[in-house]
Amino acid sequence: MKKKALLIGMLAAAAVAAAGCQNYEKIQLGGVGAEAGADAGAGLEEAGADAGQGAGTGTDAGQGAGAAAGQGAEAGSAGPGIPQAEVSANEAETTKETAPVMEDRDETVYVNATDLNVRTAPGSGAEVVARLDTGAELRRTGYSDSWSRVIYNGTECYVASQYLTTTKPEVPETAAPAASQTSAGEVGLNPDWTYAGYAKITSGKAMLYRAEGENRKGKVVCVNAGHGTKGGSSVKTQCHPDGTPKVTGGTTGAGATSAVAVSSGMEFSDGTPEAKVTLAMAKVLKEKLLARGFDVLMIREGDDVQLDNVARTVIANNMADCHVALHWDSTTSNKGAFYMSVPNVSSYRSMEPVASHWQEHHALGDSLIAGLKGVGVKIFSDGRMEMDLTQTSYSTVPSIDIELGDKASDHSAATLDTLGNGLADGIELFFQN
Ligand SMILES: [Zn+2]
């Protein structure tokens, strides 16, 4: 495997910086673009989320608390939880702005941003009819500090004035590569990706491996070895992107709006730390997936990766087609495997990005359980347990925290091999369906 360092994040960040655009009026550079973009959600997108994933560990308890707590922060309003650096002055201005008075203009202007929204009206809630990249040429017929009226495809439209210039900008040579095209190598967190601003521990690198056989599937599976972030339990991240409290218990109780960035994980009955076993499991699964033609994004390949649960999730969102986080639970009953399902709490299931993705999370979870069951792995109850996790709260690709057993479960190499077969079967099943 080549390990050419990619520095995708840096390139993308550089491109954005050069373009001078802020998050509000552009979509992010990763694969997820489609849902970010526009703006309704802009405030939400920025507003931070993060709750610690607590998930995996120690959740035998309470689900479905159903607290339903808060409702989403208003779009566009910067909640207190917002990471400072992520909110630009421009954004605040744009958000407050109301119908501008336009000066007449008749001039050629150029887009100086990537994915600049072209709207039907001068307002960040207006319909987006197109997104233009750096260098696109437009005729401007009206100008205000905030919005410009332009002719796009023969129609009057509006774009944010700050991303237009009257001199043709240089088009950056290195656009951010699409996730599906990037070569193997290190992948860092691109600060421009949606929700990246909610991550607190971000300096680590994931590693992308490309399958090389004839059977290449062109699908990237993010394999996330749970835990293993030094110092992760003394940092807190926001539970939900919109700042609302957790709706179920777990490592962090229901009602909390922030949670440990990465918990340390449990210890098996024989004294082995969970993080060691999740790492061993990840390595086994990686080899099986590559052999089956999947590309694999390994979040962690050593005892420590400086990526918190938000960072891990955002990297998976942008670089993978699904995300599987590996855990064992902290009970001692050898109760079997299950996945953390999305709590049946209406406020939670209607919060983005959960609202748009929870069913695909369940489809992935159900496939994994079917795969495990198929190789004889003991399954707990119906194979799912409701849990409000950081991972789920920020995932925009099918994403599951799977608990492969608990403290009392065998974690020998032979067992991990069997589990790996079941998980790989489940992943294949998911992509077939
Ligand atoms: Zn765990």
> Which domains are assigned to the chain?
24-83+176-432 (3.40.630.40), 90-165 (2.30.30.40)
Cα 65-69-72 angle, rounded to 5 deg: 135
CA distance linking residue 340 with residue 355, whole number of Å? 16
Distance 327 CA to ligand 1 centre (A): 4
Ligand 1: centre distance to CA 286 (Å): 18
Q: How far is the CA of 56 from the centre of ligand 1 (A)?
A: 4
User: What's the pLDDT score for residue 38?
Assistant: 34
pLDDT the model gives residue 99: 67
Closest CA to 97 of 148, 143, 147: 147
pLDDT of residue 255: 87
Contact 157, 185 (CB under 8 A): no
Residue reference for tokens 């009226």: 149
In 162-198, which positions are buried (b, 16+ CB within 10 angstroms) versus exposed (e)? bbbeeeebebbeeebeebeebebbbbbbbbbbbbbbb
Residue with tokens 């709750």: 51
pLDDT at 431: 96
Greatest CA separation found in the chain? 76
Peptide bond into 353 cis (omega under 30): yes
Look at residue 337 in the predicted model and tell me its pLDDT.
Answer: 98
* Residues in Cβ contact with 118 at an 8 Å cutoff, skipping those fewer than 6 apart: 128, 129, 130, 131, 132, 150, 152, 157, 158, 159
- CB-based neighbours (< 5 A) of ligand 1, an ion: 56-57, 226, 265, 327
Distance from residue 401's CA to the centre of ligand 1 (Å): 9
Ligand 1 centroid from CA 389, angstroms: 12
Strand runs labelled E in 74-198: 103-111, 116-119, 128-132, 137-143, 147-152, 155-160, 164-165, 185-187
10-residue stretch averages of pLDDT, the chain, 433 residues long: 42 38 33 34 27 36 35 36 39 51 92 89 90 89 94 90 88 51 83 96 96 92 98 96 90 87 96 98 98 97 97 98 98 97 96 96 98 98 96 97 98 98 98 90
